[in-house]
Amino acid sequence: MDHATIRALKNALRKDMRKRLAQVPADIVRKESNIVIQKLFAMKEYQQSRNISVYISMPSGEVSTTEIIRDLFDKGKKCFIPRCDGNVMEMVRLVSWDDYKALPTNKWNIPEPLLDEARENALQSEGLDLVIVPGLAFDGEGWRMGHGKGYYDRYLRKVADWSASAGKPPPITVALALSEQVIESPVPRESFDQKPHYVITPTGVIE
């Protein structure tokens, strides 16, 4: 299948998923988020990781990560979050819960550090042990489709290269999914798409 066909399939699926996710009630998102997060906390990969990056969730339609951020500080782990500049995403450090609460919101209404603010960059310090990945749709094999900007696919390649040059294993990647985000048909994919090691859903873990 050629690139244009796959791109068209992805765009159609994105449109459908956004419509479906907009209709998921807030109490279901809360309930499913809690189940997924407890499964994450129970994973040895999470427990043993020290440097963790986590996406900051949108106001609706995806697993909320607020409690993960709180837990990282409670457990004394280092918390890194995305900061985007054009097409480039970096993971920069949050130093406290108050730091998180004080973040300004970007055009998607998601808290994000300002570009001109000096912050520790994960790839200029110890790297990352675990990357918690968002997504729009996931299939039964654990393949992920993002929002179409390619931020995570590019960043995961970059962090894998960084880890190799630093003599470290690449980070474990864990995606979080609501029930509505897991689809029966295969997610359309291209050569650059990165498959997470794990996808945690309310009913189980896809590896």
**In the chain, alpha helices (H):** 3-22, 26-42, 44-48, 66-74, 97-101, 151-165
- Binding site members for substrate: 56, 62
Rounded Cα distance, 127 and 170, in Å: 9
H or E element in which residue 91 lies: strand 88-94
Rounded Cα distance, 170 and 188, in Å: 25
What is the Cβ-side half-sphere exposure of residue 85, based on CA atoms within 13 angstroms?
Answer: 8
SS3 category, 105: strand
Length of the chain in terms of residues written: 207
> Measured between alpha carbons, how far is residue 61 from residues 42, 91, 173, 184 in Å?
24, 23, 21, 19
- Binding site members: 10-14, 56, 62, 144-152
Q: Which residue has the tokens 């993960």?
A: 68
SS3 category, 35: helix
- Binding site members for ATP: 10-14, 144-152
SS3 category, 82: strand
